[in-house]
Amino acid sequence: MPERREPGGAIAGTGMGGAMDLAASEAETLENRPSRPDGAGPSGKPRSLWSDAWHDLRRNPVFIISGLVICFLVVISLWPSLIASGNPLKCDLAKAQEGSQPGHPFGYDGQGCDVYTRTVYGARTSVVVGVCATLGVAILGSVLGGLAGFFGGMWDSVLSRITDIFFAIPVVLGGLVLLSVVTSNSVWPVIGFMVLLGWPQISRIARGSVITVKQNDYVQAARALGSSNSRLLLRHIAPNAVAPVIVVATIALGTYIALEATLSYLGVGLKPPSVSWGIDISAASPYIRNAPHALLWPSGALAITVLAFIMLGDAVRDALDPKLR
């Protein structure tokens, strides 16, 4: 069989045998190529939005630090006795405003209560209020906004005008008016108030996201194949429109924790004998010169908690927004 020399010096046949050798060489070259291109998973398939976001989050130090802080807060909220063996309601007026002592590193407040124990137990109230309010706001706002964005028409117009009305209500002033008539000293009236005034923001985000997603080709193709409205919403639109809602809800969680502390500080949120950082900050304010430690520790715990959730929300936003990559 005649042979010819390639420019690179390789010898290839011009007949069937040469073609088979060339195919084998190409197959070997493909075998030796990296099996995982950029953006692909372990099986070589492209990663989805969620797996790609998790891939980025695991390498983000902001997410790791905020996640560790939040995990610690959740643990002490569920089992505060792990690091605080005292009783947050046990006070001794003889030790009022005293500083740090062995077994009581944060000292005592104006009523003689252990500041360390109350700071640890106060995390439970903040986490419960923040998580429950965020879940309620996210569910209610996503359902109303998603339906308005999907169906449009009169439903969309009515919901838009209702959200405008709620946006015009100052949150703190609304809390002073609504919660001042509540006699129950539990977290549920506070959570209900936050859900009542917080859902319009999530609703507007969900509405815009659904309007954007429902115009995509795969949604139009599913509609042409006869998919029902419920199937379009649950199988095709909701999974691809929920990312902005998750980002906004994660950032808002820290805001709701700060709002609960603000309302408790003003005396319309939780009230004694409940344990809350807002209550402790309010009680320690008159003694800021004589016992600044009683104000410093609950204020610092509140600031760190809010900052951790805001940092987590920023990290999730960066991971879920493809335009930022």
Tokens describing residue 303: 């600031």
Per the CB < 8 A criterion, the answer to whether 75 and 83 are in contact is no
Instruction: Say how many residues make up the chain.
Output: 325
Residue at 9 is within a domain: no
Tell me how far apart the alpha carbons of residues 315 and 247 are, in angstroms, rounded to a whole number: 9
pLDDT value of position 15: 47
Q: Is position 123 within any domain?
A: yes
Residue ranges in 214-242 assigned as alpha helix (H): 217-224, 229-231, 238-241
pLDDT at 277: 94
Judge whether 268 lies within some domain: yes
CB atoms under 10 Å from CB of 154, counted, come to: 9
Does residue 197 belong to any structural domain of this protein?
yes
Q: Does residue 100 lie within any of the structural domains?
A: no
175 part of a folded domain: yes
Q: What is the pTM of this model?
A: 0.80
pLDDT reported for residue 46:
61
- Does residue 39 belong to any structural domain of this protein? no
Range of the domain at 186: 50-84+108-324
DSSP SS3 for 310: helix
Q: Is 153 left (phi over 0), alpha (psi -120 to 50) or beta?
A: left
Q: Can you give the pLDDT of all 325 residues of the chain as single tens digits?
A: 444 444 444 444 444 444 445 344 444 443 444 444 445 555 555 666 677 778 888 888 999 999 999 999 999 999 999 998 888 998 888 888 888 888 889 999 988 999 999 999 999 999 999 999 999 999 999 999 999 998 888 888 998 899 989 988 888 888 899 898 888 788 999 999 999 999 999 999 999 999 999 888 888 888 888 888 888 888 888 888 888 899 899 889 999 999 999 999 998 988 888 899 999 999 999 888 888 999 999 999 999 999 999 999 888 888 877 665 5
- Residue 263 domain-assigned (yes or no): yes
- DSSP H or E segment with residue 130: helix 115-151
The count of domains in the chain is 1
Q: What is the CATH number of the domain that holds 209?
A: 1.10.3720.10
87 φ, ψ (degrees, to nearest 5): -105, 120
